[in-house]
A and B are shown apart, each in its own frame.
Chain A
Amino acid sequence: MSALLKKHLAWLAPVLIALWVAGSLRAPKRADGADIAGFAALPVLHEGRVKPLDTVARSSLLALRGKQTIPVRGRTVGAAEWLLDMNARPGVADTYEVFGIDSPDVLGAAGLGPTDRRRFSMKELQPGLPELGSQAEQADAVPARERSRFQVAILGLNSRFMTYRGLQNSLAPGDTADYPGEIAAYAKVLGPGIKALHAHRTGAGIDRKALSALGGYFRRYQYMAESAPFRALPPRDGDPADAWENAGEGLIEGMQTGEIHPHVAVFAGLLDAWKRGDAKAFNAGLGEYRRWLADHAPKAARAAVAEVLFNRAQPFYAGMVIYVLALLLGFAAWLVWPETLRLTAFRLMALAWGIHTAGLAFRIILQGRPPVTNLYSSAVFVGWASVGLGLELERRFRNGLGTVVGALIGFVTLIIAHHLAAQGDSMEMMRAVLDSNFWLATHVVTITIGYAATYLAGVLAIAYILRGTLTRSLDEAQAAALSGMVYGIVAFALFFSFIGTVLGGIWADQSWGRFWGWDPKENGALLIVLWMAVILHARNRYVSDRVIMVMAVFGNVITSLSWFGVNMLGIGLHSYGFMDRAFLWLSVFVASQLAVMGLGLMPLHRWRSRLPGEPGPSPFLPER
C-alpha cells in the first residue's frame, strides 16, 4: 500500500486537488430550486464600477462579519441570498449574526456582555442602538489621531450599521410589508399629487391631501435614494451607459416624469416571490429580467456572470491552501521519501501557480488594467512573481528549496491579500493621478517584481541560516549552491527595483513635475535599491557568505517596511489606507527576521553544520 502510494502520489495528488478546485466552480444545488446563482449574477453599479450583486454582497458581508457566508441554524446562507433576505425579508435577515464585534468594551456598551460569542444579529443589537449612537457621536467629536481604541471600535461599528441600513434599503424600502402593493398605492397618488404640485407652483390653489400623500412617499424614497450603496436599475434604452439608478431614485423619478422606473417593478416582483417562498415565480421573473439584460446590456451581463464564477472559485484562496500543502510536503521531503515528496510538492506548487495565474489574468481582463493597482493586488502579484522564480529555481537545482521558499512566500502573500480584501472591493476605480495603464504596467509591475525577488533572496537566506545553525544538513556544496542562488536573485532584485524606482520618478515628473520628492514611498523604494547594491558590493571581497545571508534577511525587513510600513506613517502622496492590526503583524515579522539575523551572526564554530572556516574574525577583511 505504502509502496503503491509512493509510486503514484506525485501525479495523484495534483490531479485530485485540481478536481477539487474545478468542483468549486459549480453553483451549489438548492432544495427549493430557487436560482440564487442567477440572482447573484445580476449586474449593478457600485463604487463606479458595474459588477455582479454577488461581489457587492460578498464584500459587504466580509466587511461586516469578516466572512463571506453566515451559518444559520445548521445551514449556510451565502452572501447573495443574505442580500436578497435583507431586502425581501428584513425581519428574517435581522436575526442573522452578521456583526462581528471583538472589543469587550463595545459589547459592554451595547449591553451584550458577558458572552463568549463574537458575532451578533441586528435584532440582538437593537435595544443597545440609542446608547451606541450617542457613544459614536461622542467619539466622532474627537480628532481621528487622538481616539482611544474603544472610540475607534465604536465608530467602526457605527459605520457598519450605516452600511447595513443602506443595504436594507437598496432594492426595497427596509420596512415595507407588501412592496408590490406599496408601489401600486404610490402609483395611484402620483397623478393627483403631481397635479396638485403643479397647481401649487402656479398659484392655482392647494390640494393639501394630495400633497401630503405625495410628501410621505417622497421622504421615504429620498431616504432610500441617499442611503443605498449601489445602483441596481440599469439604464433604459437611449439612456447614457452610466445612467444607473438605485431603487429610491427610480421611485422618486415617478414624481418628475409621472412614470416609475420600469425596473423597480421587476425587483419588487422578485423580492415578493422570494418572500412568499415561491421559487417558481422567482425563477420566472429572474429569467425574464436576465433575458432583457442579455439583449439590452449584454456586456455588463456577461462580465457579471464571469465575475461570479471568479468569486465562487476564489482562485487566490484555493492557491493559498495548495501552497500550504506544497510547503508541508516540501518539509516532509527532507525527512521521508525525498524524491517522491519533492516532486509532489513541486507539482502542487506548479498547480497552485497555474490557478494563481488564472486569477491574476482574470482580474487583468475584467478590470482592463495591469496586474497591480492597489495594495491588495500588489500582495497577489508579489506572491505570483516569487513563486514563478521559485519554480524556476526548483526546475534548475532540483533540491526542494525552490519549492519550499516559493510556496512559503506564495502562502504568506496570499494570506496578506486575503486580509486586505476585507477592506472592500479589491477592484476599485483608479484616482485620476493613478489612471495611467502605461505607468501602472511599467513602474508598478517592475518595482513589485523587485519586492518579490528581495523576499525570495531573504527567505533563501533564512533557509541557509536555519539549516546551518539548527541542523547538520547543510554541507559545503549546498551552502555554495544556496549562496549562488541568493547572489543571482539579489542581482535580479537590484535590476528590477532600480528600474522600477527610477520609472516611478519619471512618472512623478510626468504627473507633478518632480522627479524625486523624498516622499516616504519613494524613500522606501530607494532603501531597497541601496541595500541590494550594498549586498552586491560587499559580496565582492570583504564579507563571508554567512554575513551576506544575514544581510539578505535584513532585505526582508527593509522591503516590508517600504511596502507596508510607509503606509502606516500616514503621510505623503502615496499613502493609501491606514492599518492598525497590520502594524502589530509587521512588528512581529521584523522581530522574527532580527532573531534569524542574530542566529546567523553566531560564529561558524557554533553552527551545527560544519562549513569551511572563514578566513578571518572580522567581516571586513584586508583587501587583497
Chain B
Amino acid sequence: MQTSMKRTLEALGSLKLAVVGMVLLMLLVGACTLAQVRLGIYGAVAVYIRTFLVWVRVPGTALSVPVFPGGGFVGLLLIVNMTASLVTRWSAGRLKPGLALTHIGVILLLAGEFQTAFRAHESSLSIEVGQTLDYTEATRRTELAIEEGKAPAAHGTKAEATPAGKPLATISERDLARGGELALPGLPVSLKVLRFLRNGHLVMQKEAAAGAIVVTAGSGRKLTVVELPAATSDDEPETPVAYVEAVAGGKSLGVWLVSPVLGPQVLEAGGRKLALSMHPERVWMPFTLTLKHFSHDVYPGTDIPRNFSSLVRLVDAERHEDRDVLIWMNHPLRYRGLTFYQASYGKGDTLSVLQVVRNPGWILPYLSCLIVTVGMAWHFLLRLAAARRDP
C-alpha cells in the first residue's frame, strides 16, 4: 500500500478522531435533549440530529449560518473512523477479534439509524369500531385531495362502512408550500395555490382587511386566518390552511379556503362536481383493516391501564387473506412491510389509534446488539483472564 494512503487511513482511523467524534455526538445529544422543552422531540431531532449541519439564524436577518456539525455529519465521521481503523489494524495484523466484532456491530447500529432517517416512514391509523380503512395517515404532513363530488357528508361523521377509495388527484404539502399553478391531469381544472400556512387559526371577520386574499367560494367565505407558530410539543395539533384558486379555461372559478377543519368543499367545473378536501397525507395500503372490537382494561379500583387491544379483520384480496388479528401492547401486527402497533384510543373506547411504521431495516439494531454483546464479552473476558494470570 502506498504510504500516503496508509497515512490518510491511519489519520482517519485514529483514536483521537474517535474521541472527538464521540464528544461531538454527546454535545449534540445533550443539546437535542434540552431543546426538546422548546421545540418538541420532532423539532429538536430535526435541528440537531437528522441534519448534516446545525444552522442558527443570525439575529435580525433571514440568514442562517451553519455553526456545528449535525448528527448526520458526526455519524458519518464515526463510521469512517471505525472503518478506517478496522482496515489499518487488519492490514497491520493487529486487529483483535473481540474489538473487531464490537466495532462492526456499532457501525451496523449507526447505519441502521441512517437507514431509518432516509427510508422509514411513520403514520397512524385512527379507526372506529365497525369502520373499514385502506389507508393510514402521515403524522406530520398534509395534502389537498380532489375527489369525485358527492353530496357532502354531514361533518364529523367519519365511520364509513366501505373504504374511501383513492382520490382523483392529490397535491402534496411540498407542492402546496411551493405555490403557483398546478395542472391536474384528467381533470377540467387547474389549481393555483395563493398562500399556504403550516399552522393557522381560522377566525370570523366582518370586512376583509386591505391587501388580504378574499375568499369567494366554499365554506371559508367570511373567514380569515391568523398565522400561528409551529407547534412545540408533539401532541399539540397543527392546523394547516391554504388559499387556492380554481382556474378552468383561463378563467377563475373563485378562491377557496381549505383546511382539515372545514371538511370537503364542492367546486363545479366542466359539468363535473369535484370535492376539495385537505387532510393528513394518506398512505394507501393494498389491503383493508376493519376494527371489530376494542377493549381497554384497568386495574380494579384505579385508572391505571392494564391492557389495550384491538381486534381487527384483515382482508387482502390479492393474497387471499381474510382473517382476524388481535393487536395489543408489545404485540404488533406485521404485514406486507408495515407494522401496526396499539398506540392510543379515544371516543369512549370506540376509537382505536394504531401507529403504523414501514421500516425496511428494522432488523439492523437486533443484529448489532447481538454482535456487539459477543464482541465486548469476548474482549473484556480475555482482558480479565489476562489480568488474573498476571496481576
* Residue in chain B with minimal CB distance to A565: B33
Name A571's contact: one of B37, B329, B339, B383 (CB within 8 Å): B37
Contact (Cβ within 8 A) B376 A495: yes
Query: When the two chains form their complex, are residues B332 and A510 in contact, meaning their CB atoms are under 8 A apart?
Result: yes
**B68: CB under 8 A from chain A?**
no
A577 → chain B, closest Cβ, in Å? 14
Bits for B240-251, please: 1 = Cβ < 8 Å to A, else 0: 000000000000
Q: What sequence of 0s and 1s flags, for each residue 101-142 of chain B, a beta carbon within 8 Å of any chain A beta carbon?
A: 000000001001100100000100000000000000000000
A-binding segment of B18-26, B52-60, B152-160:
B18-26
A46–B112 Cα gap in the complex (Å)?
A: 45
A507 to B330, CA, bound (A): 8
Structural contact, B365 and A505, CB atoms closer than 8 A:
yes
Residue from the set A506, A507, A523, A541 with the largest chain B CB neighbour count within 10 Å:
A523
Could you tell me if A524 and B33 are in contact, using CB atoms closer than 8 angstroms? yes
Interface of B is mostly: helix
Given contacts A484-B387, A524-B33, 6 further A-B contacts (CB under 8 A): A231-B301, A244-B300, A431-B305, A502-B372, A518-B33, A523-B32
Residue in chain A with minimal CB distance to B120: A514
**Residues 78-122 of B contacting A (Cβ, < 8 Å):** 109, 112-113, 116, 122
Q: Which residues of B contact A48 (CB under 8 A)?
A: 298-302, 304, 306
> If A242-B300, A428-B304, A506-B369 touch, does A571 touch B233 (CB 8 Å cutoff)?
yes
Size category, A interface: 35 or more
Residues of A within 8 A of B32 (CB): 518, 523
A244-B301, A506-B369, A530-B22 are contacts. A516–B306 as well, Cβ < 8 Å? no
Q: Which of A256-264, A272-280, A532-540 contacts B (4 or more CB under 8 A)?
A: A532-540
Known contacts being A520-B36, A523-B33, is A514 close to B18, with CB within 8 Å? no
Q: Is the CB of B305 within 8 A of A520?
A: no
Of A98-106, A350-358, A364-372, A432-440, the segment with at least 4 beta carbons within 8 Å of chain B is A432-440
Chain A residues positioned under 8 Å from B18 (CB to CB): 537
Contact with B along A496-526 (1 / 0, CB 8 A): 0011001101110111111111111001101
* Chain B contacts for A620, CB-based, 8 A: 16
A523 close to B29 (CB less than 8 A): yes
Check A534/B19 contact, CB under 8 A, given A511-B330, A512-B355, A513-B355: yes
Enumerate chain B residues within 8 angstroms of A518, measured Cβ to Cβ: 29, 32-33, 41, 44-45, 49
Q: When the two chains form their complex, are residues B373 and A499 in contact, meaning their CB atoms are under 8 A apart?
A: yes
* B residues 322-341 touching A (CB-CB < 8 Å): 329-330, 332, 339, 341
The listed residue (A45, A429, A514, A540) touching B304 by CB distance below 8 A is: A429
Interface of A is mostly: helix
Q: B30 contacts the other chain (Cβ, under 8 Å)?
A: yes
Q: Give the complex CA separation of A566 and B41 in angstroms.
A: 13
Counting CB contacts under 8 A, is A542 at the interface? Answer: yes
Whether the Cβ atoms of B341 and A512 lie closer than 8 Å is: yes
Assembly CA distance A592 to B332 (angstroms): 46
Name the A residues within 8 Å of B41 (CB-CB): 517-519, 571-572
Whether a CB of chain B sits under 8 angstroms from the CB of A492 is yes
B329 engages A435 (CB within 8 Å): yes
Point out the residues of chain A lying under 8 angstroms from B204, CB to CB: none
State A514–B329 Cα separation when bound (angstroms): 14
**What residue of chain A has the Cβ atom nearest to residue B10's Cβ?**
A623
- Chain B 346-380 per-residue mask, 1 if CB under 8 angstroms from chain A, else 0: 00000000011101001001101100110011001
A495-B380 contact in complex given A47-B302, A48-B302, C-beta closer than 8 Å = yes
Q: List 27 A-B contacts (CB under 8 A).
A: A45-B301, A46-B301, A47-B302, A230-B301, A242-B300, A432-B307, A436-B330, A488-B384, A494-B376, A495-B380, A499-B373, A503-B369, A506-B365, A506-B366, A511-B329, A513-B359, A515-B365, A518-B41, A520-B36, A527-B26, A527-B30, A534-B22, A534-B26, A540-B15, A569-B33, A569-B34, A571-B37
Residue in B22, B29, B116 whose CB lies within 8 Å of A533: B22
